[in-house]
Amino acid sequence: MSTTRTKATWRVSALLVALLLPAVSRAETIVLPNVTGFVLGAQNALWSTEIRITNLSESVRELRVVDWIGIDGALQTLEVKPGETRIISGWELIYGGHRGSVVSLDEDIYGAAVCEKDDGLLVQSAILTLTHSGTGLGSDSPCEPWRGGHETGHSGISCNDGSGPLLTHDHDFFPAEQPILLPWLFSSSGDKRQNLVLLNPETAPSTVEISITSSDGMVTRTNGYTVGPRAFLQINELFRQAEWQDFLRAAGQHQREHPAARATIRATTRLYALGYVISWINNTVSVSLPM
């Protein structure tokens, strides 16, 4: 009798849990690899990030920033109402609001945010870039979040009125030893520059192997890198680096005429990778997301 009553009680409890679970918001970890507050880069390219968090559910949802790679950013919780699209700049996400001091041209303010995202949230970002002219009118108010969000004062630094590619953030770090594919690289050092970002969230250094294959599939070369503990490593102008000159020579004329390439990346720790293709002419950018 006691056993029967115990089993019945267990079934009722299990049923109640099953009924209640759909109402409980589940969370997943995602990486925002491109949170830029303010960077004035090569060719006077001004870089910023606009982030949008859209709540597609009928309940309040949260995006929790639980860690940063590459910068000592603010840990915070962003609450999003049902149906709301919340806009926040990379500057505000890094500082947890406005900093209270004017930006200077020699600052490089960027990093990667590790977040816990409730289900029902759509998290996206736009990479804003323009060629900075140094003719900003200045304002006592910070730039709007869709114009960089940084504080210019009357320094002559402009807000960022550029546009750029849209990214949807729905992926965690890749497990150790799992191949990461970057299918879109520009393997010429001429009209465009290829930058590559590697993010290591672990407290141990990561040994990373990068294999790049030519557009005709005939040439593959591999090089190794070490990414330090909890490090944000950006390799600028990848195909101007000495270690990739053998690849360009072996791929030859065909590669110069068809500069598409792809990379397969493996690491001894969890890792995230992405690539940027940037025009030398006007600083417009394309992004290669990991697969």
Residues 163 and 198 both lie in one domain:
no
Residues 88 and 142 both lie in one domain:
yes
- Name the nearest CA neighbour of 56 among 122, 125, 124, 123: 122
Say whether 275 sits in a helix, a strand or coil: strand
Residue after which a domain boundary falls, among 168, 192, 221: 168
Cβ atoms < 10 Å from Cβ of 184: 16
The reply to whether 20 falls in a domain is no
Residue after which a domain boundary falls, among 121, 140, 168: 168
The whole domain housing 280 covers 180-288
The reply to whether 6 falls in a domain is no
Structure tokens at 144: 């709007």
Residues 199 and 277 both lie in one domain:
yes
Q: Does the pTM exceed 0.75? A: yes
pLDDT per residue rounded down to tens, the chain (291 residues): 444 444 444 444 444 433 444 445 688 999 999 999 999 988 889 999 999 999 999 999 999 999 999 999 999 999 999 999 999 999 999 999 999 999 988 899 999 999 999 999 999 999 999 888 766 566 778 999 999 999 988 777 889 999 999 999 999 999 999 999 999 999 976 789 999 999 999 999 999 999 999 999 999 999 999 999 999 999 999 999 999 999 999 999 888 889 999 999 999 999 999 999 999 988 999 999 999
Residues 209 and 115 both lie in one domain:
no
Strand ranges (E), the chain: 27-40, 45-55, 61-69, 76-80, 85-89, 108-118, 121-131, 166-168, 180-186, 192-200, 206-214, 220-227, 231-235, 260-267, 272-279, 285-288
Number of domains in the chain: 2
What is the distance between the terminal CA atoms of the chain, rounded to a whole angstrom? 56
Residues 207 and 80 both lie in one domain:
no
The pLDDT, as a whole number, for residue 93 is 98
Dihedral sign, CA of 250, 256, 258, 264?
Answer: positive
Residues 141 and 244 both lie in one domain:
no
The pLDDT, as a whole number, for residue 78 is 98
Residues 141 and 202 both lie in one domain:
no
Residues 117 and 234 both lie in one domain:
no
The pLDDT, as a whole number, for residue 9 is 47
Q: Exposed, middle or buried: residue 193 (CB in 10 Å: 0-12, 13-18, 19+)?
A: buried
Residues 164 and 185 both lie in one domain:
no
- Name the nearest CA neighbour of 282 among 42, 17, 22: 42
Cβ-Cβ contacts under 8 Å for 260 (sequence gap 6 or more): 184, 185, 186, 187, 215
Residues 59 and 91 both lie in one domain:
yes
- The full length of the chain comes to 291
Residue after which a domain boundary falls, among 123, 148, 168: 168
Q: What is the CATH number of the domain that holds 277?
A: 2.60.290.11
Asked if 101 contacts 151 with a C-beta cutoff of 8 angstroms, the reply is: yes
Cβ-Cβ contacts under 8 Å for 169 (sequence gap 6 or more): 30, 31, 32, 115, 117, 123, 124, 125
Residues 111 and 226 both lie in one domain:
no
Residues 188 and 97 both lie in one domain:
no
Q: Exposed, middle or buried: residue 29 (CB in 10 Å: 0-12, 13-18, 19+)?
A: middle
The reply to whether 9 falls in a domain is no
Q: Which ranges constitute the DSSP H helices of 1-89?
A: 2-20
- Name the nearest CA neighbour of 142 among 89, 178, 69, 105: 89
The reply to whether 175 falls in a domain is no
